[in-house]
Amino acid sequence: MTVFLNAIRNEEWRPRHLFLVTLTLLMCFSIKAQNTYSISGTVTDEESGTPLPGASILIDGTSYGGISDFDGNYKFTAILDAGSYLLIASYVGYTTARATFNTADSNTITIDFTLSDDLLNLDEVVVTGNVIGANKRALGNNISSVNAEALTNNSSTQVDQALQGKITGALVTQNSGDPAGGISVLLRGSSSLGGNQPLYILDGVIINNASNELVDIGGNTQNRLADINPNDIAKIEVIKGAAAAAIYGSRANNGVIQIFTKKGIIGQPKFNFTTNVRSNSLRKKIDYNTVGLAWVDPFDRNNLATIPVTRYDYQEEFFETGYGFENALSVSGGSENVNYYVSASHLANEGIIKNTNFKRTSFKTNVSLKTFDWLDITGDFNFTRSVSSDIPNGGINSAYGAITGFVFSDNSINPTPDSSGVYPVTSLLVPRTNPAEAVNRFEFGNKTNRFITSFKLDAQIFKGLTASYTLGIDYYNQSGTAFIPINNTSPNGDGFARRSDANNFQYNSDLNITYRTTITPDIESTTTIGGTYQFQETERIGIQALGLPPIVETATSGSILEQGETRIPFALWGGFIQQSFGYKNKLFINGALRTDGSSAFGQDERDQLYAKAGISYVVSEEGFWENTFGDIFETMKLRAAWGQSGGLDALAQFSRFTNFSPSAINGSTSLIPSTLLGNSDAAPERQEEFELGFDASFLNGRLGVEFTYYKQEVSDLLLQRELSPSSGFGSRFESVGTLENEGIEVLLRASPIKTNDFSWNITATYTSNDNVITNVAGQQFALAGSFSTNFVIEGQPLGVFYRQFYAREANGDIALDADGYPFRGVTADGESSKVLGDPNPDWYGSLINEFSYKNFDFRIQFDAVQGFDVFNWNRRLLDNVIFGGGSNVGEELLGNRPKGFGGAQAGIFEEFVEDGSFIKLREVSLSYNIKTPFKAIDNIKLSLVGRNLVSWDDYSGWDPEVNTGGQGNVRGFDFAAVPIPRTFQFGINVSF
């Protein structure tokens, strides 16, 4: 200390001395007259007496604690002052247990805990601000969590896919049945036109979940959460609304999904090895034309002459049963000062489209060190290499593809190649691909190398004051390639090649300081302040060419058709303060303020202030409640919350400027402005939400209910407002729109039976959400990528279908002309289009039953999505006689409906809006545990799993769940999307 004091006196102070001074002072605070105590015990289930591995034991108000091992035992040492302390034991799904001890009794303290079921998880510690933990009973908002057991052993290969049906308020959709097909997650409905996917955080690292379409393969684009190995996940927490996510500020408009990976457990090294094999198959076929006749002249309605033909099932040409396997090995262990978790896995999974597959190899290391009695250091490193072989199936912007070729083809043509290997043209009227050639000759793929790493410091400065610092980095390189050889049946008959690369680098640097103190014996206070700086840089480069030489597959060898490069930096900064008060551990009030800035917006609009407030009251712990309702309601928690969040991601970088493109005029360089006029006054979108609800348990804790009502209002919605042609521009971004979401969420948990040998658990979810666009400045416009089918219309839900409709008789029957053909209708206002359907569901939910008998476990899950519509673009083409592949064309050939009827329907879009409501048998699993079968083997688990086995729906297509629009706002859009496969899996898990 003398050195630092002399430096200050001699005015030699430099900012770099701050860290040394701070570290020295902290060490001085920690050096006191203290003794070392050994604290140990066991943690078991109250009813069955079985050990609970992974339970957390903590001395309240300190950083000392431990985790129970695989036998439920825990042990750690602590350096403490003399006095009384509170020891807390917690475990997910169980009530928290507390016990006091006095250091005067002994230096060796033994305390055993028995924990009982907590269906409401009120004592669960959830993270509300990146690394800030809070007891769930203290929160005024609803946070859903899913543990590791629910995320694995269900044959899902992606983390977000495994969330389907597990939580309320989250509509999780698999957009494509490709092996790494993209997943969409909507939390409490759509809240922006600029994107609606939530913010993802992995162990404190903000990660990128972009859906980069480097090569156009239709609606099958991957999102980058496919790089995360589900076997490494310990828990996922979902923060669904502004009232909950306000502390995250401007990136939380669409909610937050926090992923926590597994950590080391104190004890000897424990190994876990999992291997499984699976098969993926098509669940059902589309009805196709099997009639052995064809029209002599398909264009002349009056010429009914036919000729005999042979019909082929083209679906056999591109669908097949795919197979896959996965191996994963992990080891974890540790001591009081060092904990570690290390894992490696390899997945190889074939798709139901021929020659498609996805391979993922991942490595993970997590090490936590207690360097001092007041400082913990954690390092986490993840590396993943993901490789996919793809077949284009739709191509929103391109005309090549297998399923695209199928819906345009005349299936009276044999699609197999001739003796010289040349495939015949199957689409006679428009240039499309022979689907058999697409799967056998086209080569499309993606390769991704990804690093996610973090460095964390957790310091116990003195009693009640803690600090946490996280530096997280997410970097990946993704490369997409496409090759179509010469002499093919696609529109690119002279060959096509494309190469595109994306580099994404981002980091977040977060510092949080928390002070907990007891104001009175009944009142506790928690104050947290924090700050963040986040930076992201995305670079993309691409080149594509036509006119390839023979054999050559690289774009540089052909005639360059397109080349481009983009570089997009993005920075965000912010800070917050949060204050919470608790009264007798049953009444809690909290509030927070957060400010954020973003480089995407102009100087006058980029800095925004957000607020939140909440109240929670466990009224069942009051004496009057226990005396009046205690026999019925064991637990009753009332809660309410209000909050604001922002949309600083809704405006792309540089979109506030008028952008220019380079060009050449008479050999001289020039710049040409885009049609989008810049607007430096565009403001971030703002969301304000109010929610209230209750959590209750009945029947001696056998039944638990969570109920939440919420209402969101989004203002300053960024729209590309149409401009007058005299301005010289087509549109510009303006903050003029508004929308609302209003809904309810219900979660039911029940444990009807629980004995030493048999248990039965039930989980049911229900969510309804009403979305409406309340203002778009008098405009209505089509969403990009929907072929002008999905629209934004004031007074309607986002993305409704708005196109031509049938003329109808007074009784509602479709009006027909004199020849029996339908024709288009006109509204009373003279409009030729009207709203035909809504892709947003009225409600969705799930029912999960779990049974356990001795060493057998059985689980079955049904998912339901009801009251939404799908636009079936496939049928619009298949039913048209000029293509001829659909079953309704066969009906025309048989005389069961007029010739050319499907062609007349093609321009009446109402015909192809279908009810997409479904109930799916999402998951079924049966497993058997062989406990301690051999020396040094703790357990062998054999499992048989089925996924997406049955779908009860009225949809005429393959699958009503898929969506060619991907992660964007275009929903209910089925054009050549790969259906979700039926999957069977057999697995073996060995613990030793």
Q: Give the model confidence (pLDDT) of 629-671 as tens digits.
A: 877 888 899 999 999 888 776 777 788 888 887 777 777 888 8
**Bridge partners for 711 per DSSP:** 690, 742
Among all chains, which residue has been given the structure tokens 């090995």? 329
Same domain, 587 and 657: yes
Gap between the Cα atoms of 263 and 230, Å rounded: 14
More confidently predicted of 616 and 9: 616
Q: How far apart are CA 797 and CA 773, in angstroms?
A: 6
pLDDT at 672 over 90: no
Q: Tokens at residue 132, please?
A: 């800030």
CATH number at residue 565: 2.40.170.20
Q: What is the pLDDT of residue 63?
A: 65
Q: What average pLDDT does range 134-162 have in this prediction? A: 85
Tokens of 855: 């060493």
What pLDDT, on the 0 to 100 scale, is given for residue 714? 92
Domains contained in the chain, number: 2
602 or 256, which is more confident?
A: 256
How confident is residue 115, by pLDDT bands cut at 50, 70 and 90? Answer: confident
**For 597-613, what is the mean pLDDT?**
86
Q: Which is more confident, 132 or 213?
A: 213
Do 180 and 89 lie in one domain? The reply is no
Cα separation, 577 vs 788, in Å, equals 46
Select from 816, 790, 785, 819 the least CA-distant residue to 803. 790
Q: In whole angstroms, what is the distance from residue 511 CA to residue 457 CA? A: 9
Residue 358 Cα distances to 155, 386, 553, angstroms: 14, 7, 22
| Predicted pLDDT at 936 | 83
Segment 860-874 mean pLDDT: 96
pLDDT at 852 over 80: yes
Confidence grade of residue 129 (pLDDT, cut at 50, 70, 90): low
582: in domain: yes
- Domain with residue 29: its CATH number is 2.60.40.1120
Is residue 889 in some structural domain? Answer: no
760 pLDDT band, cuts 50/70/90, is very high
- How far, in Å, CA of 670 to CA of 327, rounded? 56
Q: Does the structure show a pLDDT above 90 at 605? A: no
State residue 91's pLDDT score: 81
Residue 395 in tokens: 């191509």
Q: Which of 779, 798, 604, 592 is nearest to 684 (CA)?
A: 604
Q: Report DSSP state, residue 806.
A: B
318: part of which helix (H) or strand (E)? helix 315-318
Q: Radius of gyration of the chain from Cα atoms? A: 31
How does residue 374 score in pLDDT terms, banded at 50, 70 and 90? confident
pLDDT of residue 77: 83
Same domain for 34 and 182, yes or no, is: no
Are 99 and 189 part of one and the same domain?
no
Q: What is the pLDDT of residue 659?
A: 83
Q: What is the Cα–Cα distance from 535 to 472, expressed in whole angstroms?
A: 11
Q: Which one, of 414, 596, 400, lies nearest residue 483 by Cα?
A: 400
**Nearest to residue 314, comparing CAs of 354, 351, 350, 277?**
354
pLDDT in tens, 40-67: 999 998 877 888 887 888 887 676 777 7
* 901-925 burial: b if 16+ Cβ within 10 Å, else e: bbbbbbebbbbbbbebbbbbbbbbb
pLDDT band at 132 (very low <50, low <70, confident <90, very high): low
Look over the chain and give the mean of its residue pLDDT values, rounded to a whole number. 88
CA 27 to chain centre: 43
Which stretch of DSSP H or E encloses residue 875? helix 873-878
CA–CA distance, 146 with 237 (Å, rounded to integer): 7
Decide if 297 is inside a domain: no
Confidence of residue 2 (pLDDT cuts 50, 70, 90): very low
Band of residue 9 on the pLDDT scale cut at 50, 70, 90:
very low
Token pair of 635, please? 């637990």
What is the mean pLDDT of the segment spanning 706-722?
90
pLDDT at 924: 96
CB of 55 within 8 A of CB of 91?
yes
Residue 241 contacts residue 141 (beta carbons within 8 Å)? yes
Residues 411-448 pLDDT 10s: 999 999 999 999 999 998 888 999 999 999 999 999 99
Q: CA 976, CA 315: separation in Å to the nearest integer? A: 12
609 and 642 assigned to the same domain? yes
Nearest CA to 173 out of 162, 184, 165, 157 is that of 184
862 and 769 within one domain: yes
Confirm whether 132 is domain-assigned: no
104 with 138: CB under 8 angstroms? no
Say yes or no: 603 and 748 in one domain.
yes
Q: What is the C-alpha to C-alpha distance for residues 896 and 840, in angstroms, rounded to an integer?
A: 35
Q: Are residues 152 and 106 in the same domain?
A: no
Is the pLDDT at 15 greater than 60, yes or no? no
Domain edge (last residue) among 90, 123, 156:
123
User: Which domain-ending residue is among 92, 123, 154?
Assistant: 123
Angle between helices 2-9 and 17-30 (to 10 degrees): 140
Q: What is the Cα 972 distance to its own chain's centre?
A: 18
Helix (H) or strand (E) holding 516: strand 496-518
3-class SS at 904?
helix
Supply the pLDDT for residue 130: 53
At 17, which helix (H) or strand (E)?
Answer: helix 17-30
Residues 157 and 111 in one domain: no
pLDDT digits (tens, 9 = 90+) for 484-497: 999 999 988 899 99
Same domain, 77 and 161: no
Query: Residues 807, 813, 814, 815: is their CA dihedral positive or negative?
Result: negative
- Determine the Cα–Cα distance for residues 902 and 890; give it in Å rounded to an integer: 11
The answer on 589 and 552 residing in a single domain is yes
DSSP string, 204-217: TEEE------SS--
Q: Do 42 and 113 share a structural domain?
A: yes
> For the chain, give me the number of helices (H) and strands (E)?
12, 51
pLDDT digits (tens, 9 = 90+) for 295-343: 999 889 999 999 999 999 999 999 999 999 999 999 998 887 899 999 9
pLDDT for 606: 81
Q: How far is CA 941 from CA 261, 547, 705, in A?
A: 22, 56, 32
The answer for residues whose C-beta is within 8 angstroms of residue 949's C-beta and 6 or more apart is: 283, 921, 924, 982
Q: Position of tokens 């009057």?
A: 624
If phi > 0 it is left, if psi is from -120 to 50 it is alpha, else beta; for residue 287 that is beta
CA–CA separation, 67 vs 74, rounded Å? 6
pLDDT for 74-107, tens place per residue?
Answer: 888 888 888 888 888 888 778 888 898 988 778 8
pLDDT above 60 for 22: no
How far apart, in Å, are the Cα atoms of 839 and each of 803, 820, 835, 914, 922? 14, 31, 11, 10, 21
Nearest to 217 by CA among 182, 174, 173, 193: 182
For residue 826, pLDDT beyond 90: yes
Checking if the pLDDT of 208 tops 60, the result is yes
The Cα–Cα gap between 227 and 209 comes to: 10
d(CA 157, CA 981): 13
Q: Give the mean model confidence (pLDDT) for residues 675-700.
A: 87
Mean pLDDT computed over 144-165: 87
What is the amino acid identity at position 93? G
pLDDT at 859: 96
| Domain endpoint, select from 108, 123, 138 | 123
Residue 792 lies in a domain: yes
- pLDDT of amino acid 720: 81
Q: What pLDDT score does 252 carry?
A: 78
Does residue 417 lie in a domain region? no
Stretch 682-694: mean pLDDT: 90
* 523-527, 622-626, 900-904, 944-948: range with lowest mean pLDDT: 622-626
pTM, to two decimals: 0.89
Whether 436 is covered by a domain: the verdict is: no
CB 223 within 8 A of CB 968: no
pLDDT band at 128 (very low <50, low <70, confident <90, very high): low
Structural domain range at position 83:
2-123
